[in-house]
């Protein structure tokens, strides 16, 4: 069950392999942020807002065929890029995987060391919100 999560983490690590300096990592994050999917105005609610981010960031979570899907939109490119590297790994996974497969690849990439404390807090807040939504998906599946 966790093999796909680990494999996706390895794919993100390969993507960042050529980015040796913090500046190169930031550039790659911004490039990824430019690829974010825009959420509709109806999806940008107080319930979908990610608290703890410096920028205005929203997370949309859906449950389809027993899998959690995530879309993150932020008004800052770096935050959007951080959201992208989370969704690249966790979107399309079973909710249990989101809860039990920690994002160890973030530490291995050295991202926390090159992020400001505010950005690192925002990244942690995004993942916390993803886990909260995954828990809601588990509850919906057991009740349904």
Q: Which domains does the chain have, with CATH numbers?
A: 3-143 (3.90.1010.10)
Nearest C-alpha neighbor of 144 from the set 67, 70, 66: 66
User: How confident is the model over 113-133, as pLDDT tens digits?
Assistant: 778 888 889 999 999 999 999
pLDDT reading at 4 higher than 90: yes
Residues 6+ apart with CB under 8 A from 4: 93, 97
User: How confident is the model over 75-120, as pLDDT tens digits?
Assistant: 999 999 999 999 999 999 999 999 999 999 999 988 877 788 888 8
- The pLDDT assigned to 144 comes to 64
Mean confidence (pLDDT) of the chain: 94
Nearest C-alpha neighbor of 67 from the set 93, 48, 88: 93
Helix (H) or strand (E) holding 58: strand 57-64
pLDDT reading at 45 higher than 80: yes
Question: Which residue in this structure is represented by tokens 């932020």?
Answer: 74
The structure's pTM equals 0.94
User: How confident is the model over 14-44, as pLDDT tens digits?
Assistant: 999 988 888 898 899 999 999 998 999 999 9
What is the spatial distance between Cα 20 and Cα 42, in angstroms, rounded to a whole number? 39
């Amino acid at each position: 069950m966790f093999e796909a999560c680990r494999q996706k983490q390895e794919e993100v690590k390969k993507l960042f392999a050529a980015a040796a300096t913090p500046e190169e990592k930031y550039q790659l994050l911004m490039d990824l942020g430019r690829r974010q999917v825009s959420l509709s105005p109806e999806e940008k609610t107080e319930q979908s807002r990610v608290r703890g981010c410096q920028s205005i960031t929203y997370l949309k979570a859906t449950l389809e065929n027993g899998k959690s899907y995530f879309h993150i939109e932020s008004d800052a490119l770096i935050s959007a890029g951080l959201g992208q590297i989370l969704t690249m790994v966790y979107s399309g996974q079973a909710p249990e995987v989101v809860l039990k497969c920690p994002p160890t690849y973030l530490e291995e990439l050295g991202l926390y060391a090159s992020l400001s404390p505010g950005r690192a807090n925002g990244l942690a807040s995004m993942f916390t919100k993803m886990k909260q939504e995954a828990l809601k998906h588990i509850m919906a599946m057991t009740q349904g």
